[in-house]
Amino acid sequence: MLLISCPYCGERPEEEFAFGGDASVVPPNGAGEGAPVGTETFADYLYLRDNPKGRHREHWIHRYGCQRWIEVERDTVTHEIHAVRVAGEGK
Amino acid sequence: MTGARRVPGAGLLAGAPAVSFSFDGRRHTGVAGESLATALLANGERTIARSFKYHRPRGVMGVGNEDPAGLVTLARPSGDEPNSRATMVELYDGLAARGQNAWPSVRWDMTAVTDLLSPLFPAGFYYKTFMGPAAAWPLYEKVIRRIAGLGAVPATPDTELCTSTHAHGDLLIAGGGAAGLQAALVAARAGARVLLADENPWFGLGLLGEDARIDGEPAQTWAKAALEELSGLENVTLLPRTTVAGRYEQGFVILCEKLRDGPALAGDPSPRWRLWKLRVGSTIIATGAIERPMVFANNDRPGVMTVGAVGAYLNRYGLLVGEQVVIAASDDDAHRVASQLARAGAEVTVADTRDSGSGVAAAAGVEVLWRSRVADTAGRGGVAGVQIEGPSGRRWISATIAASRGGWSPALHLYAQTGGKAVWDDARAMFVPGAPEIGAVTVGPCNGTMDLAAALAEATAASSAVCGELGYSVTSAVPTVDGADTASGIPGFATPANRKRSFVDVQNDVTIADLDLAVREGYRSIEHVKRYTTLGMGTDQGKLGNINGIRAIAEARGEPMSSVGTTRFRPPYVPLPIGAVAAHMSPEHHHPMRRTAIHDLHAQAGCVWLKAGAWLRPQFYRRGTETDLEAVNREVLAVRNNVGLVDVSTLGKIELAGPDVVTFLNRIYTNGWSTLKPGMGRYGLMLREDGVVFDDGVTMRLGESHYVMSTTSGGAGAVREWMTRLLETRWRDLNVAVVPVTEQWFAAALAGPMARDVLARVAEGFDVSNEAFPFMGARVGKIAGIPARVFRISFSGEMSYEINVPSDRAVELWKALLEAGKPEAMAPYGVESMGVLRLEKGHFVVGREADGRTTPYDLGLGRMVSSKKWFIGKEALDFPEMKNPQRRHVVGIVPVDRKQRLPGSAHLIHADQIDAVGASQGWIVSSAWSPTFDHDIALALLDGGQARHGERMLAYAPIGGGKADVEIVSPHFYDPDGGRQIG
């Protein structure tokens, strides 16, 4: 079970959080209101995810805590957590 | 008989009281606190179990958790505990155990006939034989499950109390042998918060029978002093009877503590098991090494044991396991065990594979045969003779115990559980830990360090390093050791001639011949061979046998051990009692049950409860001797013809405020929000990004930039998280505050043609007339003197007002509304009646008709999809497939013969395709008796259903066989124009 350092609350066990998927994925049409995109491009965005071995930026929500979204940089092999930051403030 | 006998005054329990116990109904006497395995051996019970596949007799082989097959069922007042390890159960007065996987008993097992047929049961037998026909599988399964297996799952709940606890510490030390004790001493003296866990009732067991001296004292004296010192320190937690079962990332460790084996004493609330969820800075793994037996023909008979086990039964429990013992080994330590057995009165023969070695056994009168090994055993129901193969050929000698030691296997499971790789070391003939893992360090035999002095040095160094990292200063020195045995010899592996009866996994009956066959059939990876042959798949997970299995596979592949490698180590290290894992999370405590603010009033009104997700809600309110259906019919008709009152406070309520709420709503709902005026609300449909309906509900605009959104009961949490996710990650430029208020507001709906009359009697501060307060209007005022928000929305299809008040005023409101409705004899209605009303109206429900695959078009709600703006799900809705006219649409269903009931869980098929595979064109999702129409109605999902109104089909329930001719109709049965809710 991970130990995640919530930027709002401090170190909390994983069971207080819920996983929210790859944080590096952004909609192909910008913030969502941009120009129309092709079916292929949007289907890739919807359904295709990388499964990297190593560092992975991912969204988590502190569901049973502050209920805020955060970004966790986790090693998918060792589960080492390299960084935790406020969601949306990442690279 | 085995000649097993107790040695007076020997062992740790000398002087403990005698207790009586029973095995398979036979009454025996044992010593309180000794293991059940010890007591069974002492009473001449050789066959205590049967093997998984062939039902061969199984006895005690080991002394701890490595024992592969000694599983029994404990019959306890709290319920049966199957698959209990006889080596790990502590004897108590009145213990009752019985054998399992046998009929009528393990001693006389009729199903052992499978053993005679064993040539017919090779590796992968089940896969090969029971391939088809598919329809026969249930029959095969029934037979296989009866004859192959372990203990029976108890039919009644276990009433034993179990608990769990969370704890923190600087350092966990797994294993309380010499290395573990030394590591604990170093850290404890430095001031670190230390937890020391050992699965046995005693610490320092590995030093029992050890002749060496530590710091000038006998090893046992050193261990006792260490334990005494640790017991006196406040920063140390000693955990005997506690197995470190799983090690995970970031210092998270699971421990299972056994608090007692005996039944709970009267008035004693102590639990049987306690699961520790521990977070520590570091873990020192000092779990020792597991003795690896040699493989020889018929090495599965009761009486075949490990050398260490035979020694431990003598030194720990004071039990000589047999009068005539053969010891097969290749190291000096085994000679020491042989000498101890001889001194206790046994007739011992040592067969050593080496040319020469220790003289300690010979000096004690033991016959020592060099360059010799055990080749075979003989005997009915247990070993009676052992065949020894040496330079002068083979010879049989009389013996009841054949103890062997082929080497050691470091118990590196906790190291490997987080991904650490076990590496084969040819020089030591063992798998040892490879590169270090984060947060853990292995010391002593677990690290492949078998020498006592080196193990203590390693423990000191590791503990000092960990303490240093944690900021503690260390002062302890490495203890000195004199007189320890020299390093073990390296036995290598024998290649038995009789491969069909040379077992590597005695619980699952895997022989060397089975492994040979698997490799011949093309299985190469150890993971595949494991699953194909079941090697190491038993409850023991191959602690004793796996390395011998890997060796056999390496040999069959003609490759070195390092090419084969080990299977993946996964937690838990030992089987955990499921009760310990569940702990206090019994069914009613597994998930919190949510109750609305007027729960007690519902109960007083005689409601029948319904569990709806996390909520407990009134299903309906029974009057007198009404049947369920009569009660629901009465409630439905009251709403249709008069007025009813329903608790709808489970619906999600989320307040939205800020200048950008309209922009936000336009992006998350399919329909437009720019024209919504304060004091009015709008129904909205929310999609996932893949175009599928996610949630729905009405959002009211209360002020210029203040909105309150209503969600489905089940979707309240998910909708809020989705909205905050968008605002916090994607649209950080939008200024919108999201505040969930479901618990803060109680909500009740008045519904029916007389609803306005009732409302008028209690409303203050706003005009309730149809003109002043139209459909979809929102008003803030008072109801019966309570500050309230009143929304004119309808789920039933009738005129309806949803009244929201602060939750602490809920009881007051509910009572006032019932009072105000007295002239109409208004009564409350429940969720079941609400479901019938919505079905008559044709409203879909998220989670039913909207089943996670349904689009707005499938629901017939294309008009809700704006073409003038972007919204979430738009791109996906534009995928060509989403508008395919053959998609599954929501339709209405009525029976052709209106008197006929619709079958439950029915598929829609053409009547002539009743036996055809793939004939289903859809299915009934929700159905109910409609008191309004006096016949059954249903909503269904049907391929291309929107173009099929008027078509006739067969509703057929393959399970149960119910069927009815049905007609496809519009889903809007009642008041399709919606005039009643507007009027």
CATH number of the domain where residue B734 is located: 3.30.70.1400
**Closest of B441, B435, B415, B431 to residue B183, by C-alpha:** B441
Q: What band does B213 get if pLDDT is binned at 50, 70 and 90?
A: very high
Shared domain check, B470 and B525: no
- Tens of pLDDT, residues B623-638: 999 999 999 999 999 9
The reply to whether B643 and B656 lie within a common domain is no
Q: What is the DSSP letter of B726?
A: I
- For residue B979, give the H/E element and its range: helix B979-982
Q: Which residues touch B572 (CB under 8 Å, ≥6 apart)? A: B245, B246, B254, B256
Give the rounded percent of residues in chain B with a pLDDT score beyond 90: 84
DSSP H helical ranges for B33-111: 36-42
Phi, psi of B642 (to 5 degrees): -140, -105
Span B214-240, average pLDDT = 97
Interface check for B689 against chain A (CB to CB < 8 A): the answer is yes
Instruction: Verify that B389 and B306 share a domain, yes or no.
Output: yes
How close, in Å, is residue B715 to chain A by CA atoms?
Answer: 15
Q: What is the pLDDT of residues B264-295, one digit of tens each?
A: 877 777 899 999 999 999 999 999 999 999 99
pLDDT at B754 over 80: yes
Cβ–Cβ gap A69/B724 under 8 Å: yes
Q: Give CA separation, B12 vs B88, B209, B315, B504, in Å.
A: 16, 11, 8, 32
Residue ranges of B 251-290 with Cβ closer than 8 A to chain A? 251-252, 277, 279
- Residue to mutate among B249, B663, B741, with most A CBs inside 10 A, is B249
DSSP state of B142: H
Contacts of B670 in chain A (CB under 8 A): none
Backbone torsions φ then ψ of B444, nearest 5 degrees: 75, -155
Tokens at B658, concatenated: 């800020």
Which residues in A lie closer than 8 A to residue B879 (C-beta atoms)?
Answer: 39, 42-43
All residues at 6 or more sequence positions from B792 whose CB lies less than 8 Å from its CB, including other chains: B773, B774, B775, B776, B777, B778, B799, B800, B801, B802
Spatial CB neighbours of B349, under 8 Å, sequence gap ≥ 6: B325, B326, B327, B366, B367, B368, B369, B386, B388, B397, B399
Q: Give CA separation, B568 vs B123, B235, B442, B535, in Å.
A: 21, 35, 18, 13
Write b or e for each residue in B826-859: b if 16 or more Cβ atoms lie within 10 A of its Cβ, otherwise e: bbbbbbbbbbbbbbbbbbbbbebbbbeebbbbbb
Q: What is the total count of domains within chain B? A: 7
* B248, B689, B724 member nearest A1 (Cβ): B248
Indicate which of B581, B667, B875, B879 best probes the interface with A, i.e. most A CBs within 10 Å of its own CB.
B875
**3-state class (DSSP) for residue B833:** helix
pLDDT at A33: 64
- For the domain that residue B435 is a member of, what is the CATH number? 3.50.50.60
Q: Are residue B694 and residue B761 in the same domain, yes or no?
A: no
Alpha-carbon dihedral of residues B327, B328, B334, B339, nearest 10 degrees? 30
Is B844 contained in some domain? no
Residue B680 lies in a domain: yes
pLDDT at A88: 85
Q: Cβ atoms within 10 A of the Cβ of B947, count?
A: 12
> Which residues lie below 8 Å from residue B322, measured CB to CB, with a gap of 6+?
B2, B3, B4, B303, B346, B399, B400, B401
The whole-angstrom distance between A32's CA and the closest CA on chain B is 8
Confidence at residue B149, expressed as pLDDT on a 0 to 100 scale: 67
Distance CA B472, CA B452 (A): 26
Closest C-alpha to B186, from B471, B446, B482, B462: B462
A contacts of B731 (beta carbons < 8 Å): 31-32
In angstroms, the CA B62 to CA B544 distance is 9
Query: Does B922 share its domain with B935?
Result: yes
User: Shortest CB distance from A37 goes to which of B667, B720, B875?
Assistant: B875
Nearest 5 degrees, angle CA B661-CA B663-CA B664?
60
What is the pLDDT, as a whole number, of residue A91?
A: 45
Flag whether B571 is in a domain: no
Asked if the structure places residue B570 within a domain, the reply is no
Q: How many CB atoms lie within 10 A of CB B105?
A: 17
Which member of B667, B725, B875 has the closest CB to residue A20? B725
Residue type, B758: V
- DSSP H or E segment with residue B767: none
In-domain check, residue B848? no
Listed in sequence order, the residues at least 6 apart from B221 whose beta carbon sits closer than 8 Å to its beta carbon are: none
Confidence check: pLDDT of B720 > 50:
yes
B710 and B754 share one domain:
no
The helix/strand/coil state of B645 is: strand
Closest to B770 in 3D by CA, of B523, B460, B980: B980
- Provide the domain limits for residue B49: 5-120
- Residue B151 pLDDT class (50, 70, 90 cuts): confident
Name A76's Cβ contacts closer than 8 Å, sequence gap at least 6: A51, A52, A53, A54, A55, A56
> Of B353, B386, B405, which closes a domain?
B405
Task: List all residues of chain B from 649 to 668 with a beta carbon under 8 Å from chain A.
Answer: 667
Q: Does the structure show a pLDDT above 90 at B391?
A: yes
Residues 452-481 of B with CB under 8 A from A: none
Taking the Cβ of residue B841 and every Cβ of chain A, the question of whether any pair is shorter than 8 Å is answered with: no
* A33 touching chain B per CB within 8 A: yes
> Measured between alpha carbons, how far is B255 from B229 in angstroms, rounded to an integer?
23
Using a CB–CB cutoff of 8 Å, tell me whether B732 touches chain A: yes
User: How far away is chain A from the Cα of B729, in angstroms, using its nearest Cα?
Assistant: 4
Domain shared by B92 and B224, yes or no: no
Domain termination residue (choose one: B379, B405, B431): B405
Nearest to B729 among A36, A42, A59 (CB): A59
Chain B residue with the nearest C-alpha to that of A28: B875
Contacts of B419 in chain A (CB under 8 A): 77-78
Pairing of strands B615-621, B594-595: parallel
Mind giving me the DSSP string for B332-367?
HHHHHHHHHHHHTT-EEEEEESSS----HHHHTT-E
User: Residue B192, CB half-sphere, CA atoms under 13 Å: how many?
Assistant: 32
Out of 3.40.50.720, 3.30.2270.10, 3.40.720.10, 1.10.260.40, select the CATH number for domain A3-26+40-86: 3.30.2270.10
- Distance from chain centroid for Cα A65: 17
Q: Which residues in chain B touch residue A18, judged by CB atoms under 8 angstroms apart?
A: 721
Cβ distance B725 to A61 less than 8 Å, yes or no, reads yes
Q: What percentage of chain B has pLDDT greater than the value 70?
A: 95
How far does B938 lie from chain A, in Å, by closest CA?
Answer: 34
Check if B568 contacts A (Cβ < 8 Å). no
What are the angstrom distances between the C-alpha of B435 and each of A69, B421, B454, B561? 36, 7, 20, 18
B599, pLDDT greater than 90: yes
In a domain, B959, yes or no: yes
In this predicted structure, what is the pLDDT of residue B212? Answer: 92
Helix B716-725 and helix B661-668, axial crossing angle in degrees, nearest 10: 110
Distance CA B204, CA B185 (A): 13
B872 touches chain A (CB under 8 A): yes
- Torsion, CA A30, CA A31, CA A32, CA A35, rounded to 10: -40
Cβ of residue B367 closer than 8 Å to a chain A Cβ: no
Domain layout of chain A by residue ranges = 3-26+40-86
- Rounded CA separation A63/B621 (Å): 36
How far from B768 is each of B150, B747, B758, B777, B823, CA to CA, in Å?
71, 18, 10, 10, 18
| Residue B395 · residue A54 · CB < 8 Å | no
Contact B635, B830 (CB under 8 A): yes
Chain A residue numbers touching B880 (CB-CB < 8 A): 39
* B555: nearest Cα among B493, B600, B632, B645: B493
B13-63 tens-digit pLDDT: 999 999 999 999 999 999 999 999 999 999 999 999 998 888 889 999 999
**By 3-state DSSP, what share of chain B in percent is helix, strand and coil, each rounded to 5?**
25, 30, 45
Instruction: Tell which of B482, B509, B532 closes a domain.
Output: B482
* Spatial separation of the C-alpha atoms in residues B941 and B923, rounded to whole Å: 6
**Which residues on chain B are in Cβ contact (under 8 Å) with A43?**
879
Amino acid letter at B251? Answer: G
Q: Cis bond leading into B104, ω under 30°?
A: yes
How far apart are the C-alpha atoms of B40 and B95, rounded to whole Å?
12
Q: Is the pLDDT of residue B487 over 60?
A: no
B370 and chain A in contact, CB less than 8 A: no
Residue B183 shares a structural domain with residue B282: yes
Contacts of A78 in chain B (CB under 8 A): 249, 418-419, 438
The reply to whether B101 falls in a domain is yes
**Model pLDDT, residue A40:** 92
Distance from CA of A79 to the nearest CA of B (A): 6
What mean pLDDT do residues B452-468 have?
97
pLDDT band at A9 (very low <50, low <70, confident <90, very high): very high
Closest partner CB to A79 (pick from B250, B279, B733)? B250
Q: Which of A42, A67, A77 sits opposite B876 (nearest CB)?
A: A42
Give me the mean pLDDT over the B501-525 stretch.
94
Distance from first CA to last CA of chain B, Å, rounded? 95
In a domain, B582, yes or no: no
- Rounded Cα distance between B777 and B733, Å, is 31
Tell me, yes or no, if B875 comes closer than 8 A to chain A by beta carbon: yes
User: Can you give the pLDDT at residue B138?
Assistant: 66
B263 and B316 together in one domain: no
What type of residue is B381?
A: G
**DSSP assignment string, B205-231:** GGGTT---EETTEEHHHHHHHHHHHHH
Question: In angstroms, rounded to a whole number, what is the distance separating the alpha carbons of residues B692 and A46?
Answer: 12
Are B194 and B302 within one domain? no
B115 CB near a chain A CB, below 8 Å? no
Q: How far is CA B567 from the centre of its chain?
A: 21
pLDDT exceeds cutoff 70 at A41: yes
CB-based contacts of B742: which residues, under 8 Å, 6+ apart? B649, B650, B651, B652, B653, B654, B716
Cis peptide before B133 (omega within 30 of 0): yes
Cβ within 8 Å, pair A78-B419 = yes
Check CB contact of A66 with chain B, cutoff 8 Å. no
Is residue B272 located within the same domain as residue B218?
A: yes
DSSP result, B867-926: SSS--TTHHHHTSGGGG-TTSEEEEEEEESSTTSPPPTTPEEE-GGGTT-TT---EEEEE
**Set of chain B residues whose Cβ sits within 8 Å of the Cβ of A42:** 875-876, 879
- Taking the CA of residue A48 and the nearest CA in chain B, the distance in Å comes to 13
Question: Quick one: which of B319, B312, B431, B331 has its CA closest to B62?
Answer: B312
Q: Please provide the average confidence, as pLDDT, over all residues in chain B.
A: 93
The pLDDT score that the predictor gives to residue B101 is: 79
Same domain membership, residue B497 and residue B428: no
| Residue B714 CA: distances (Å) to CA of B654, B675, B847 | 14, 29, 9
Q: Which residues pair with B254 in a beta bridge?
A: B246, B277
- Interface residue of B165, B248, B250, B867 to substitute, partner A, most A CBs within 10 Å: B250
Inter-CA distances, B859 with B157, B559, B849, B902, B971, Å: 45, 63, 8, 22, 9
Sign, Cα dihedral of B395, B401, B402, B403: negative
Alpha carbon of B528 to those of B81, B181, B412, B508, B533: distances in Å? Answer: 32, 39, 22, 16, 8
Pairs of residues, one from chain A and one from chain B, whose beta carbons lie less than 8 Å apart: 79
